[in-house]
Structure 1
Amino acid sequence: MNVSREAVGKILVVGGGRMGSAILNGWLDQGFVPSNIYLIDRDANTLKQYETQGVHTFTAVEDVPKNLVFDIFLLALKPQIIAASVEQFDHLISPKTCLVSVAAGVMVNTLKQLLPSAKNVVRVMPNTPAMIGKGVMVGFSYEQDMFGELVESLFATLGSFHWIIDENQMHAVTAVSGSGPAYLFYFAQCFVESAKKLGLPEALAETLALETVIGAANLIEQSDDDVETLRHNVTSPNGTTQAGLAALMEGNTVKSRVEACCLAAAKRSLELS
């Protein structure tokens, strides 16, 4: 599904932190017109970075021209900040504005209560690989028929996009795809440290471990086989891989810790709602 970059209209981004920047960088890389994008953030260095690219930047909501009408309002503030400060942006929302929130745990009805002018609200849970066009985005909206195609088109430029029909599933989405990159980064970190402990030079240990992770991920993407089949394909009986896997899978501790990890993230998402 494609959308004309020029046809999107004016986009307001509130919050230029990690996720806001990941999405904004992805849009700019995909050819969105910088002069159609307006960013509010308190960090001067962040604003300077985008100002040099042609994005309109503001340190405070009061600085945004009052005559502007935004088609998309991307709310990329931390969940803990939204309840305390989001009301100040309500006057920037018009009947034609689609509010898109990427805040973990903050429900659609909560956003509508905090921002009474927001009649069209879409929740999207992205992840940071969106900045390189490899993100996974999941959306929910009660007005999907009205703005679904536009929102899907915007985020599909950053990776794959999926809809859910039950907002409660967003807690699981947050735990899996939203937080998931960090879990894999930690595994990669542990893999690098293990390679070093085996006696490999530091630079070579990092290269071998990380390139192995990247190569395996690419194989998953390009292969028709599921991950269990791929694992069996590389595991020769009584070989080195089987020995390593036996140690990794002993007592199902890895599986149980991964399940505990996802459960804890989903629980925290629920607490934030």
Structure 2
Amino acid sequence: MSRTPAPASPLALVLPCYNPPAGWTANIVSSLARFEALLPTEARPVHLYLVNDGSAAVTDDDVHFLRASLPHFTYLTYSLNKGKGYALRTGISQVTEPMCLFTDIDFPYEETSMATVLEALRTGQCDVAVGTRDEAYYAKVPAGRVFISKMLRRSTGLLLGLPVSDTQCGLKGFNEQGRHVFLRGKIDRYLFDLEFIFLASRPGARLRVRPVPVRLKPGVIFSRMNPKILLNESGSFLKILLARFI
């Protein structure tokens, strides 16, 4: 792991990376520039933490390009794929900024939505800001993902009683208190988001969790969900459910 020294930043943005799409480094630079342009001076600059989750597709040239393009940049890597939850905990454990956002490597959500999530934190409206998707989102994703997402949302509300039903949106943010709770998570793959919202919503956490409506960018392409992952994650869901009664 290596780190580029940089002046203190008020905001960290953590991106997990596994087999990124073509043109991903240029997309990061342009998307981050658009995002920063929306922020007030006191919310800039953004410190980007990129976590390579065991992907050989990330080259030295990619990292060099990002280092040269972004003055506030930290690169973290390890050899074996561990899962998005593990990658995010790796990156977030290194964060020193008072506020932190995370999203996906292709920046699928509009930069205005990212700015809205941050604004909820900056203005003290909440400790954890959770991006939530409306029905327009479901018109842009494969039918299998629609079914899984809606089934999970119903199960979350019915069985766990969480303040946010859309736990799987790939855009979230939190302050330092939320960061400490995020790092308590144990789930490495798909349901790490659900685990985080569950932990943050428990009475002992004393965190204010707030849903924030967000929108996808046009033309975002989502992959199909692997049934094997769903089977493995059913055990994770059961653990979360049992923890509610402990």
The structure number with the bigger radius of gyration is: 1
TM above 0.5, yes or no, is no
Structure scoring higher RCO (CA < 8 A, sep ≥ 6) equals 2
Taking structure 2 as the reference length, the TM-score comes to: 0.31
Q: Structure 1-normalised TM-score?
A: 0.29
